[in-house]
Amino acid sequence: MKSPAVTNVEKNAQLWQQMNPRISEVENTDTLKVHSSLIETPLNTGLIFKSFKMESAGSNKNEVVDLSKKIQAWTSWKEKHKQGIEGISKINSDIILSYLSDMERGLNTGKRSKKGKRSPRRLGGLAFHMVKLAKFFEERFNKNLIMTKGRPKSCLTREEVHEFFEEMSNGTIAKENGEVYKSTPDFVKDFISFWNWYMRVIDEENERIDRQNEDSKEKQEKTFVPDLVKYLSRGDFMDTNNFTYFTYEELKMVIPELDEGDRALALFLFDSIVRSPNEIANIYVNDLTFENDEVWVNVRKEISKTYERKFNLILCGDIIKEHIRKNRLYPEDRLFPHYFPKTFNKHLQKAFIKVFGNKVTQGGKAFSDITGYSFRHSGCCYLRSKRINLDTLRVRGGWKTFKRIDYYTKFLGLDGRISKDMLNEEPSVNESLMKLVERQNEELSKMRERMATLLAEKAVNGIEVRNYA
């Protein structure tokens, strides 16, 4: 006898129950009602949280949503410039396309840099910066990005490179509209990446020439490339980063001015400090797990700018559960399916200005400049102010280094002082272990007493007691 076919509604209900049987129960698959009484966890107001780097083997295969259109933009750029890049010399065009081709395939990357293919977002940024730099160097120095073979003087010098980026940073070299370039550090970073790649390519070519020269009477001449970026540092051109800053208390005052969907999204962004828009747009319901009344979030490798990570929500866990329930979201649904960056940013700006006016915040920017990314800055400042473990905070935010956290530390005016009160707030690992050992010793002592009492009773009753030790 054939088993009845499973409807889509029943399939969705089963997926829901598999996702978390503890907080969800479908009473009637026709209406798909979820018992709110089953969500009985207290509000997550504590600050005990954990963050872990994750392996990608168990990642959910969810569709990656490209809200910023970076993938589409990179594909269009490649198609448009297949035959060469207009507006720059052929030498510059050829070397830039060769560089981008290697980065797209993950070839000739640095020893200390990330292995593998570069993302469309990264490739698009590299293309924009390198074409812009090629134009600048042609106009200012009448030189290409690389040396013309057989003409050593055609190569850029260290002095020229440093002078150029210094002038870009201080506004001597400005945009067409007269504004100062705020992204000079990004131009520096990408030029360093390009030049290191170029030196690796030339080194490989020189090794090939050495091998040929051993077996040939006609010796080929090798190419010498100076290290233009040896003393170039992105940090030298980094100014104080301005951002729209707000406190958790200020956020709570604004929340009533947002609609229900935006409230959950705003609190999630502040709590999780995930990147907006790419990471937040690609978190699905099946990226959440519910463990011991806690909501855990897994940021998958394919949507993270750096690495896959997992952490627990500490401020909005119950609100997110209720958000899932009220919107009848299933495992394969995006957690915030109606999130559109521009619309959300406008709602935020309107709400913050209504409550506080368009004042300039401590971060240097006004509330009219607030975006979803502002929650990453302010959320991290909030957690840092609680003196959370730095390693845990770094992994939660998905940073590779502590540079950004160091900046927030200085912004908050924190120092390295450790008070006794701070140590007493939370037992150390050693103290916890000592308490565990003491408890176990007490239990062993009680067991010995019971054994001695039992042996004594058997001896009184004339029962032979043998020592098997």
Name 5's Cβ contacts closer than 8 Å, sequence gap at least 6: none
Quick one: pLDDT at residue 162?
95
Kindly report, residue by residue over 355-403, the tens digit of the pLDDT.
999 999 999 999 999 999 999 999 999 999 988 888 999 999 999 888 8
In a domain, 193, yes or no: yes
Claim to verify: residue 96 and residue 187 sit in the same structural domain: yes
Split at pLDDT 50, 70, 90, the class of 30 is very low
pLDDT at 413 over 90: no
Determine the straight-line distance between the first and last CA of the chain, rounded to whole angstroms.
64
Let me know the angle formed at the C-alpha of 93 by 92 and 97, rounded to the nearest 5 degrees. 115
Structural domain harbouring 324: 41-56+243-412
Asked whether residue 51 falls in the same domain as residue 20, the answer is: no
Do both 350 and 382 map to the same domain? Answer: yes
Shared domain check, 195 and 250: no
Residue 72 lies in a domain: no
pLDDT value at position 460? 63
Instruction: Please give the radius of gyration of the chain, using alpha carbons only, rounded to the nearest integer.
Output: 30
pLDDT of residue 219: 80
Q: In whole angstroms, what is the distance from residue 93 CA to residue 88 CA?
A: 6
Domain boundary among 391, 412, 433: 412
DSSP label at 193? H
Percent of the chain with pLDDT over 70: 78
* Residue 420 in domain: no
Are 317 and 262 spatial neighbours (Cβ–Cβ below 8 Å)?
A: no
Across the chain, mean pLDDT equals: 82
- Give the pLDDT band of residue 54 (cuts 50, 70, 90): low
* Domain presence at residue 370: yes
- Closest among 296, 302, 346, 345 to 321, alpha carbons compared: 296
Query: Do 220 and 296 share a domain, yes or no?
Result: no
Flag whether 423 is in a domain. no
Residues 423-449: tens digit of each pLDDT: 444 444 445 555 666 666 777 777 777
**Residues 296, 212 within the same domain:** no
Check whether residue 386 and residue 250 sit in a common domain: yes
CATH of the domain at 256: 1.10.443.10
Same domain, yes or no: 93 and 199 = yes
At 47, the pLDDT band (50, 70, 90 cuts) reads very low
Would the pLDDT of 35 be above 80? no
316 and 345 both lie in a single domain: yes
Domain count, the chain: 3
| pLDDT tens by residue, 247-305 | 999 999 999 999 988 999 999 999 999 999 999 999 999 999 998 889 999 999 989 98
Asked whether residue 248 falls in the same domain as residue 232, the answer is no
Kindly state whether residues 213 and 268 are assigned to the same domain. no
Q: How far is CA 371 from the centre of its chain?
A: 17
CB half-sphere exposure, 381, CA atoms < 13 A:
20
* Residue 468 covered by a domain: no
Residue 340 has pLDDT above 90, yes or no: yes
Claim to verify: residue 302 and residue 361 sit in the same structural domain: yes
232 domain-assigned: yes
Least confident range of 83-87, 239-243, 377-381, 455-459: 455-459
CA distances for 245 relative to 271, 369, 412, 467, angstroms = 15, 10, 11, 73
Domain end residue (candidates: 370, 395, 412): 412
For residue 277, say if its preceding peptide bond is cis, omega within 30 degrees of 0. yes
Separation in Å, CA 187 to CA 24, 109, 195, 200: 50, 18, 12, 20
Six-digit token string for 261: 């969907």
Residue ending a domain, among 237, 264, 283, is 237
Say what percent of the chain tops pLDDT 90.
Answer: 53
Q: What is the pLDDT of residue 418?
A: 44
Is position 335 within any domain?
Answer: yes
